[in-house]
Amino acid sequence: MCGRYAATKNPAKLIEEFDAVDATEGQAPGPNHNVAPTKPVMTVVQRHPRDDDGEPDPEQTVRSLRVMRWGLVPFWAKDPSSGSRMINVRAESAASKPAFRAALAKRRCLIPADGWYEWRRDPEGKQPFFMTGSDGAIVAFAGLWETWRDKNAEEDAPPLVTCSVITTDAVGQLTEIHNRMPLLMPQDAWASWLDPDSSDVGHLLAPPPLELVDRLELRPVSSAVNNVRNNGPELLERVTPSVDLAATEQDTPTLFDAGADPAKR
């Protein structure tokens, strides 16, 4: 968890919501109702602007909207294939994992979403749910990002910029669906999380407050979302679940669950 989500807001809306500038360079992906690993995704970062010589200005920071590929590739990786296994990182172990600890200290981001999908195991099979703001508000996943360069590429070749979603223990009503959830970052913590000059963010890695989770709608949706080729607004429509939510036991890992950290190096 998290292995699929929906992101349909256009850059203009995200720029307004996050008080950011557009740095997508015309590469912003269109609305996606079934975002899958290795796809391009929108992220929000805050960095010191650089002058023509590439030197950062320590007196200023700029918050920007950028496109990254979902699935973090460590800067030291030999090739980018590991990214498909690093779509998530546990909040509890990010600081100790070689693939993520430098990013946690220096390269944190927010990943905007309409909501995310999770699968609950019922006697009849797995029932997908869409977790979303009941008022339609954007949710922001805490994320980490990295830059990877191909040593065999031309010197001026653009780097590969990738990201990973941080996950944590589920809280409140979400425990009825799954034992893990994306680390949702409340708006009043965005500035602290994105601050490029702060590496002390341990207090922000705790599960989100219950009042934030209580505002979410847990919406049963069609099993059509199981197939990554399906992508349309109908995936977000409510369906009648086969089993009552309160009558089932909590499930454990789903297809894309990263409960066991993929980065064991």
Q: Which residues are catalytic?
A: 2, 118
- Length of the chain equals 265
Exposed/middle/buried for residue 37 (C-beta within 10 Å: 0-12, 13-18, 19+): buried
3 state SS of 120: strand
Q: Contact, 94 vs 142, CB < 8 A?
A: no
What is the DSSP annotation of 125-172? EEEEEEEEETT---EEEEEEEEEE--TTS-TTPPPEEEEEEEEEE--G
Beta-carbon contacts of 111 under 8 Å, excluding residues fewer than 6 positions away, are 41, 42, 43, 44, 140, 141, 142, 143, 163, 165
Spatial CA neighbour of 174 closest among 118, 220, 108: 118
Strand ranges, E, within the chain: 5-7, 21-22, 32-35, 40-47, 62-70, 88-90, 108-113, 115-122, 125-133, 139-148, 160-169, 180-182, 216-220
Judge if the upstream peptide bond of residue 163 is cis by omega within 30 degrees of 0.
no
Is 264 within 8 Å of 258 (Cβ atoms)? no
Reference 128, options 241, 265, 13; nearest CA is: 241
